[in-house]
Each structure stands twice: as C-alpha cells, then as structure tokens.
Amino acid sequence: MQQRDVVKLNGKPEQVELLYSSGKEGRNDRGVYYAWGLAQNKVIFAPPALNEAIQSLNPRKGMKLSIQLGEGNRWDVRPIDPPAEQPRQIATAPAAPQAAVEQHPKGNTARIPDAPYSHTGWAAHIRDQAQSLIDVAASCHRYAAEKYPGLLTGNDVADLVITTYINHSKSGGCQ
C-alpha cells in the first residue's frame, strides 16, 4: 500500500479536498485521533476538536476546506465555495416554461425549477439543511393535521420547527 503524505497544520491555512464523509477513528499514545483521507494522496490526523469542527460542516466526498490552527489552539475550518483556484461563476436560472408556473392556493405564482441547481461547499450545506427542514416541517404539518385537525395552522407548525431547530443548533446539535 502506498504511503500518504501527512498534511501538517502549523498555523497557516491549508486547503484540502475530502475523499470521505468521515474520518476513521484511531488511537495512539497521545489519545484518540481521526484519519481523514484527502485528494492528492494526502491525509490529516485530526484531534477530536478538529474532527468536530469538520463534522459540523456536514462533510462529503469532494468537499474542499480551508483548515488552520489559530490562536488559543482553536480550529478555523471553512468550506471553500467555489474552490479558491477557480473564478467564481454565477449560475443563471433557465427561463421557466409556461407549464412550470403553478398557481398557489393564496393566489401567488411560484416558478418550479426544471432541475435542481448545482451547489458546492457551504451553499450545498445550506441547501441540504433547508431541504431537511422542509421535509421535517411537512411531516410535522401532516402529523398535526391528522392528530389535531383544524387546531394548528401551517405557520404554527413551521414556527415550532424553526424554533426547535434554532434552539437545537444553539445547544450543539445531536449529542
């Protein structure tokens, strides 16, 4: 098996590309570490604090990160979106065909995109979080309508979901 180059994190930002969505846990005489496979045959041996910072970004294969050990031994981990070496491109929405415009029950019209847009890095993370919240809100709305017909509105349910999400995020997420 070919040896991987170890990325040394010594105060300056290092740009890396993840090969996997999680690090492999290991243990040595210094304690627990997480080995993250990286593009270009590289690896990072992350202490638990760095692993936690990476995991907080919902990592996935191909995600590009900037990692730096800052003052007070605090990790600064940021997604690179788009990759720094490429010029930023702005996606433009295709024109909506007439069939893609739907009449909303309250009279609003909404354009339904033909296909999802391609996002990377932080934008993909935000999109994934929003889509998950939409799924949760829809499920909760369905539950409220079946269990308590006419008692809660869609806005009531959305408010509960958003409040729970915000409070959960402030307390550190899933434990």
Look up the CATH number of the domain holding residue 11: 2.40.50
Name the residue among 59, 31, 61, 63 with its Cα closest to residue 46: 31
Tokens of 113: 């995109």
Between 138 and 98, name the one with better pLDDT.
138
153 to 45, 50, 103, 135, 141: CA distances (angstroms): 49, 42, 20, 17, 8
Between 2 and 156, name the one with better pLDDT.
156
Considering the domain architecture, whether residues 133 and 70 belong to the same structural domain is answered as no
In 3-state terms, what secondary structure has residue 147? helix
Which residues make Cβ contacts (< 8 Å) with residue 2, sequence separation at least 6? Answer: 41
Indicate whether 165 pLDDT > 90.
no
Mean pLDDT of 2-23: 89
Range of the structural domain that residue 61 is part of = 5-79
Residue 111 in contact with residue 99, Cβ under 8 Å?
no
Could you tell me the pLDDT band of residue 96, with boundaries at 50, 70 and 90?
A: very low
**CA 165, 60, 4, 13 torsion: positive or negative?**
negative
Indicate whether 87 pLDDT > 70.
no
Indicate whether 105 pLDDT > 60.
no
Evaluate whether residue 27 is within a structural domain: yes
Indicate whether 147 pLDDT > 50.
yes
Mean pLDDT of 4-20: 90
Q: Which helix (H) or strand (E) holds 167?
A: helix 154-170
Mean pLDDT of 54-69: 91
Evaluate whether residue 103 is within a structural domain: no
Q: How many domains does the chain have?
A: 2
